[in-house]
Amino acid sequence: MTHSSKAFYWMAIPALLLFVTLHTVPALTGVFFSLTDYAGYGTWTFIGLENYFSLFKDDRILSSYSFTFLFAITTTIIVNVLALGIALLLNAKIKFQTAFRGIFFIPNVLAILIIGYVFNFIFSNSLPLLGQWAGIDWLSTSILANKDLAWLGIVAVSAWQSIAFSVILYLAGLQTIPADLYEAADLDGAGYWRQFRSITFPMIGAFFTINMVLALKGFLQAFDQIVALTGGGPGTSTESVAMVIFRGGFQGGEYGYQMANSVVYLLVIVAVSVIQLRTLQRKEADF
């Protein structure tokens, strides 16, 4: 065995052991308890797939799935549209380009909880004052207390915080496009929109796919921003799946039941990610 081989094993084996200990073992333990009536304490009984069957009859669980997917899909679209637009602007030849890139990245380095609490104050105090001054009824009270509008506040904050990372990825993609292509397009008389459709977007197709998959997967696991903004309210109208799992599993004595919910949701996220990835990759090939 060569020295390089030994070095490989010395680096790989500890990492593998840590992964198995901190990830695989807890995951398999959770799968096991999803087949029991364990409350998180005391004794438990093996009940098979009963928890899984009960999930599909639970209105609160189904409502959390509906809200989570509505929130995740809406925010993913907003983030990618705005991030791509901002990236195109920041990639243009403008003054203070580097400074603007740094400014736009600031939201990404801030803690989600801190951002959530700051915007909670804005939505609950500053905006209502502005709405009262302007005579706008729906803005005169906190939208976070409105069952129909609270989710939009969560979408706005989540998008604001997440756009920065997507902008960086799109900028990385734009930097890979040879300038010669745009020069040739200019000589052929192609306008900006034609250049975007025929050169820019096809060339950054892989970066678009990565951004869409990462964004949707991340928003499907939304938790911190909802805790800081609405706490799942009003009522349970903005409870995400992650929040239901946390509350029921660690606070409500439903450990086994919510473990079943976790397993189902894991499979849902994996399935959605795979379908999304394959669909977008096919679209890339069409360009």
C-alpha 286: how far from its chain's center? 27
236-to-69, 218, 226 alpha-carbon distances in Å: 15, 21, 11
Question: Do the Cβ atoms of 235 and 147 come closer than 8 Å?
Answer: yes
Task: Report the pLDDT averaged over residues 158-187.
Answer: 89
24 found inside a domain: no
Q: Return the SS3 of 238.
A: coil
Largest CA distance in the chain: 78
Q: State the residue range of the domain holding 160.
A: 59-286
User: Phi and psi dihedrals of 46, rounded to 5?
Assistant: -75, 125
Name residue, tokens 């609490």. Answer: 117
29 found inside a domain: no
Look at residue 4 in the predicted model and tell me its pLDDT: 62
Name residue, tokens 């919510």. Answer: 258
pTM: 0.89
Q: Report CA torsion sign: 253, 256, 260, 262.
A: positive
Task: Report the pLDDT averaged over residues 30-53.
Answer: 93
Of the candidates 176, 121, 154, which has an alpha carbon nearest to the alpha carbon of residue 240? 154
Of the candidates 89, 90, 224, 105, which has an alpha carbon nearest to the alpha carbon of residue 157? 224
Q: Quickly state the pLDDT bin for 285 (edges 50, 70, 90).
A: low
Task: Report the pLDDT averaged over residues 269-287.
Answer: 82
28 found inside a domain: no
3 found inside a domain: no
Q: Does the pLDDT value for residue 7 go beyond 80?
A: no
Using a pLDDT cut of 70, give the percent of the chain over it. Answer: 96
26 found inside a domain: no
Q: Print burial letters for 54-72: b (CB count within 10 Å at least 16), e (below 16).
A: ebeeeeebeebbebbbebb
Please tell me the total count of domains within the chain. 1
Determine what percent of the chain falls in helix, strand and coil, rounding each to the nearest 5. 80, 0, 20
36 found inside a domain: no
13 found inside a domain: no
Rg of the chain in Å (alpha carbons): 23
60-106 pLDDT, tens digit per residue, is 999 999 999 999 999 999 999 999 999 998 887 777 667 777 777 78
Task: Report the pLDDT averaged over residues 109-135.
Answer: 88
Residue 49 carries which side chain, given as an amino acid letter? L
| DSSP conformation letters of 171-213 | HHHHHTS-HHHHHHHHHTT--HHHHIIIIIHHHTHHHHHHHHH
CA pair distance 64, 149, nearest whole angstrom: 16
9 found inside a domain: no
Residue 221 carries which side chain, given as an amino acid letter? Q
CA pair distance 112, 239, nearest whole angstrom: 17
Q: What is the CATH number of the domain that holds 272?
A: 1.10.3720.10
User: Phi and psi dihedrals of 49, rounded to 5?
Assistant: -95, 15
Determine if residue 22 is left, alpha or beta; phi over 0 gives left, psi from -120 to 50 gives alpha, anything else beta: alpha
